Amino acid sequence: MVSETMTKKYLDKLTYDVIGAAIEVHKSVGPGLIESVYHECIKHELKARGIGFHTELIVPVHFKGLVLDAELRCDLFIENILAVELKAVSTLAPIHEAQLLTYMKLLKAPKGILINFNSVNLFRDGQKTFVNELFRNLPDG
C-alpha cells in the first residue's frame, strides 16, 4: 500500500538497490540454476543490505465481495510497495509480465520488477521494470 510520503525518487532508488542485489547474486552464482536457489540467495542479499521484504506473500483476490484463497504468491514484496517476480527461464514470456502486473494491481504496488536469472547479463537482458497508474500519481520528490 502506498503511503502519503512515498515519492517516485524514493521508489526509483529502492528499485535500483533491489536490482543491484539481484546483480550481486547473479555475479556470485551465475545463470543456470533453478529459481528457488536464486530466491534464497536474493533473500540473504536483501537482508544484508537492510532492505525490508515479505517473501512468498499470498496475494488476495477480491471477487464479487469475496476474498478468495487463490494461492497466488508474489516472490518478493519489497517494503510493501515494490513487487518482484523471480524467474529462471530461457526467455521471458508475456505471461510472466502479466503475472507481475496482476500482482502489482492486487497488492496496490506502484512499481514492479521482473528478474530472469537465466540470462548472460542480468542488467541488460535479465530484468524489466514496470510502473502503473499509482506510480504516475506519486509526487516526484
- In the structure, what pLDDT confidence band is assigned to residue 72 with cuts at 50, 70 and 90? confident
Mean pLDDT estimate for the chain: 93
Per residue in 75-129, pLDDT (tens digit) is 999 999 999 999 999 999 999 999 999 999 999 999 999 999 999 999 888 999 9
What sign for the dihedral angle of Cα 27, 31, 37, 40?
Answer: positive
What value, to the nearest 5°, has the Cα angle with vertex 125 and ends 14 and 135? 35
What's the pLDDT at 4?
55
Model-level pTM greater than 0.85? Answer: yes
Percentage of residues of the chain with pLDDT beyond 70: 96
Provide the grid cell at 112. Answer: 514492479
Burial class of residue 61 in the structure, from the number of CB atoms within 10 Å of its CB (0-12 exposed, 13-18 middle, 19+ buried): middle
Contact present, 61 and 72 (Cβ < 8 Å): yes
- In the structure, what pLDDT confidence band is assigned to residue 3 with cuts at 50, 70 and 90? low
What's the pLDDT at 2?
54
Domain ranges (residues) in the chain: 8-135
